[in-house]
Amino acid sequence: MSKAVVIKSSELPQAFLEVHPHNLYLYCKAYASGLRANSAQAKTRSMVTGGGKKPWAQKGGGRARAGSITSPVFVGGGVAFGPNNNRNYDQKVNKKQKKLALFHAIAEKVANEKVYVVDSLVVESGKTKDAALYVKNLGQRDVLVVKEMIDDKTFLAFRNLQNSYLIESNELNAYLAAAYSSIVIEKTVWEKLTKES
């Protein structure tokens, strides 16, 4: 594994530094919404068991008229406007906005000197202890590792580490860039990313 070089704000293209932080907020909100399980469900009055017989006579009892004990006004009745799993939580984020959000997330990390560029990141041994030592030497809480293409040995080395997450360049997004305290990125990926601006 080659030596990691810290990126400074002065090395970033101007496009990264001119992004409004609201773009990152909107992207992260949409990303989190997309992760929702959408499993909340309540029974409506038509789904509750019972209710075939009118509970009491329409008139003469002095009570309000009632047609079924499955009505939401009764204990054990259906829920009037309860949740159902037909709801769609997806929020639209434009392609340009996704790009701007990523730029801002990267710029924030660079401002705090938390972005490291390496020529190549390959753990030849495939051992987790070697990957753990590499992460430990960076002295960061946790690390997002971005490779052009993940090889089998490096995948095996990083997969069980709790304080790091290995992804390919096409998986990099603003949410992951913001969520991890530092980023280690291969030089080819970094050049491609900065060229896009």
Report the percentage of the chain scoring pLDDT > 70. 98
- Angle, nearest 10°, between helix axes 22-34 and 95-111? 110
Integer CA distances (angstroms), 177 to 6, 32, 45, 52, 148, in order: 16, 14, 46, 57, 16
Token output for 121:
């990141």
Q: Is 187 helix (H, G, I), strand (E, B) or coil?
A: helix
pLDDT band for position 2 (cuts 50, 70, 90): low
Position 196 pLDDT exceeds 80: no
> What's the burial of 57, exposed, middle or buried (CB within 10 Å: 0-12/13-18/19+)?
exposed
Q: Which pLDDT score, from 0 to 100, does residue 102 have?
A: 94
pTM beyond 0.95: the answer is no
CATH class as words, domain 5-15+93-196: alpha beta
- Residue 167, pLDDT score: 93
Mean predicted confidence (pLDDT) in 5-15: 82
Amino acid 37: pLDDT: 87
- What band does 194 get if pLDDT is binned at 50, 70 and 90? confident
Q: What percent of the residues of the chain are helix, what percent strand, and what percent coil, each to the nearest 5?
A: 40, 10, 50
Give the number of other CB atoms < 10 A from CB of residue 106: 26
Span 69-88, mean pLDDT? 92
Note whether 183 and 143 are within 8 A (CB): yes
Which is nearest to 158 in space by CA: 186, 185, 127?
Answer: 127
Domain edges within the chain: 5-15+93-196
Burial class (CB in 10 A: 0-12, 13-18, 19+), 183: buried
Instruction: State residue 87's pLDDT score.
Output: 86
For the segment 143-173, what is each residue's pLDDT rounded down to a tens digit?
A: 999 999 999 999 999 999 999 999 999 999 9
What's the pLDDT at 15?
87
Q: pLDDT value at position 38?
A: 86
User: What integer best gives the mean pLDDT of the chain?
Assistant: 91
Mean pLDDT of 72-78: 94
pLDDT bracket for residue 1 (50, 70, 90): low
